[in-house]
């Protein structure tokens, strides 16, 4: 039961910038206090302050592997530490970096005392991520992202092969499943395959009642 993770990537959906952002944060806070599940939210950078007021378990969607300085439109890891977030997503399918920058970001986050969630398209990329020693890895076949076709049904072998690949390097790193997760059953199925949780986006952000959907997923993960 320990070590279940529900990560919500707000992406740049319209709802990510509206009142839903805080509603989701409040529900996440309630869920985290009563269930053995970490509910990590990744809002757009301008919403960090508002979301952090309601829920402390927040990640950036992306961080730049640079130090403080003359960088316009970039967010250094050291700044992330000042903002009160717990960590950052790195290398999301929609924000891919060359591997050496992924590695630099993971290292800088660790040195700043922050967590890192590295996204991978494939078992091979998950293996590469494992060598970097991130806090967590999420595997998401990009062709399923946003489709509503859950990876845990359509490509369970991607989850199991990624688990195998990560375990060979470091069995202590939790692996999350992502892409197409649209129901509590999909999340349960991912856990049954060996995942430590799920990374979701549209299923929460584009629903009419995001807090309700969030609760359903968290409760399913708690009892899986």
Q: Which are the contacts of 68, defined by CB distance < 8 A and separation ≥ 6?
A: 76, 78, 79
Query: Is 13 or 223 the residue whose CB approaches its own copies more closely?
Result: 13
Contact call for residue 72 and its own copies (CB under 8 A)? yes
Is 11 one of the binding residues for its own copies (CB under 8 A)?
A: yes
Per the CB < 8 A criterion, the answer to whether 42 and 55 are in contact is no
Q: Does 204 bind its own copies (CB under 8 A)?
A: no
Residues near 14 by Cβ (< 8 Å), separated by ≥ 6?
none
Q: Does 125 bind its own copies (CB under 8 A)?
A: yes
Tokens encoding 54: 């309601």
Comparison of 28 and 199: residue with beta carbon closer to its own copies: 199
Near its own copies by CB under 8 A, which window of 140-148, 172-180, 184-192, 215-223?
140-148
Q: Which residues of 120-147 are buried (b: 16+ CB within 10 A; e: fewer)?
A: bbbbebbbbbbebbbbbbbbbbeebbee
Q: Which of 217, 221, 201, 187 is nearest to 93 (CA)?
A: 201
What is the C-alpha separation between 83 and 112, in angstroms, rounded?
Answer: 12
Q: Which is nearer to its own copies, 6 or 201 (CB)?
A: 201
Tell whether residue 40 is a contact of its own copies (CB under 8 A).
Answer: no
Q: Is 92 a catalytic residue?
A: yes
Please tell me the total number of residues recorded for the chain in this structure. 224
The residues that bridge with 37 in the sheet, in sequence order, are: 4
Q: Is 56 in the site for its own copies (CB under 8 A)?
A: no
From 27, 32, 62, 92, the catalytic residue: 92
Q: How far is the CB of 224 from its own copies (least distance, A)?
A: 26
> Which backbone phi and psi does 31 adopt, to 5 degrees?
-65, -45
Q: Can you tell me which of 25, 40, 48, 193 binds its own copies, judged by CB under 8 A?
A: 48
Residues noted as catalytic? 92, 140
Which residues are at the interface with its own copies (CB under 8 A)?
9, 11-14, 16-18, 44-46, 48-50, 60-62, 66, 68-76, 78-79, 82-83, 89, 92-100, 103, 121-125, 127-132, 142, 145-146, 165, 168-169, 201-202
């Amino acid at each position: 039961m320990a070590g279940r993770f529900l990560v919500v990537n707000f992406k740049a959906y319209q709802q990510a910038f509206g009142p839903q952002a805080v509603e989701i944060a409040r529900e996440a806070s309630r869920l985290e206090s009563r269930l053995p599940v970490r509910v990590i939210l990744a809002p757009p950078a301008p919403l960090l302050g508002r979301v952090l007021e309601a829920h402390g378990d927040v990640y950036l969607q992306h961080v730049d592997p640079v130090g403080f300085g003359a960088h316009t439109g970039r967010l250094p890891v050291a700044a992330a530490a000042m903002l009160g977030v717990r960590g950052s997503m790195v290398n999301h399918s929609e924000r891919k970096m060359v591997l050496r920058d992924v590695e630099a970001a993971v290292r800088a986050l660790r040195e700043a005392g922050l967590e890192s969630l590295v996204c991978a398209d494939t078992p091979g990329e998950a293996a590469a991520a494992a060598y970097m020693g991130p806090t967590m890895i999420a595997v998401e076949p990009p062709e399923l992202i946003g489709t509503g076709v859950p990876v845990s049904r359509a490509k369970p072998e991607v989850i199991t092969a990624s688990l195998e690949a990560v375990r060979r390097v470091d069995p202590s790193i939790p692996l999350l499943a992502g892409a197409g997760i649209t129901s509590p059953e999909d999340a349960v199925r991912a856990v049954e395959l060996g995942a430590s949780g799920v990374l979701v986006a549209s299923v929460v952000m584009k629903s009419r009642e995001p807090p309700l959907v969030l609760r359903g997923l968290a409760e399913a993960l708690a009892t899986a």
